[in-house]
Amino acid sequence: MTYIKTATLHLRPRMPVIARLCLLAALAFAATTGAQTMPQKLPAISLGVGIYLINAEVAQTPDQRAIGLMNRPTMGVSDGMLFAFEAGATQCFWMKNTLLPLSIAFIDDDGAIVNIIEMKPQSLESHCSTKPVRFALEMNQGWFAKRGIKAGSKLTGQPWPK
């Protein structure tokens, strides 16, 4: 930050303080939004539901959860993203900058699916759990329905026992 401020002052010595602050804010905003143009790749774990296996990247920090599957052009058939929260709450998701149509399953602490919602890409529509949960699993749209997985189905693997 000091480097940018020094360079700005050197290039524009008569620029008003407000204009310099606006320029710095714009540069900071550009730096943070630019980081979101590339899909993130997170460490993955193996999950199971019935006879099906899932390779789920785990988003566990606020920044990882905020980016989620944004800007990802494709995803493998059995790939997904597990969102892990610190505490149970009504969790809500939207699809801003998400290119893929997705299904989201909201999951309780025991690994039971509470509800599943189909989500359209690049939408600001909010999709929420029907009760407080600590986990949500995003998969390609229709993944759960094609396999007969619905509310009440149980997931296994870390963080749930078999």
Give the contacts of 8 (CB within 8 A, at least 6 positions apart): 15, 20, 23, 24
Mean pLDDT for the chain overall: 84
Number of separate domains in the chain: 2
Nearest to 59 by CA among 28, 118, 104, 113: 104
β-bridge pairing 52-59 and 79-89 = parallel
Would the pTM count as exceeding 0.75?
yes
Question: Tens of pLDDT along 83-123?
Answer: 999 999 999 999 999 999 999 999 999 999 999 999 999 99
Domain residue limits at 22: 2-36
Question: Tens of pLDDT along 36-49?
Answer: 578 999 999 999 99
Same domain membership, residue 28 and residue 99: no
Same domain membership, residue 129 and residue 49: yes
Task: Residue 82: give its domain's CATH number.
Answer: 2.60.120.1140
Instruction: For Cα atoms 35, 36, 40, give the angle at the middle one, nearest 5 degrees.
Output: 95
Same domain membership, residue 104 and residue 68: yes
Are 155 and 46 in contact by the 8 Å Cβ rule? The answer is: no
Residue 162 domain-assigned? Answer: no
Segment holding 83, helix H or strand E: strand 79-89
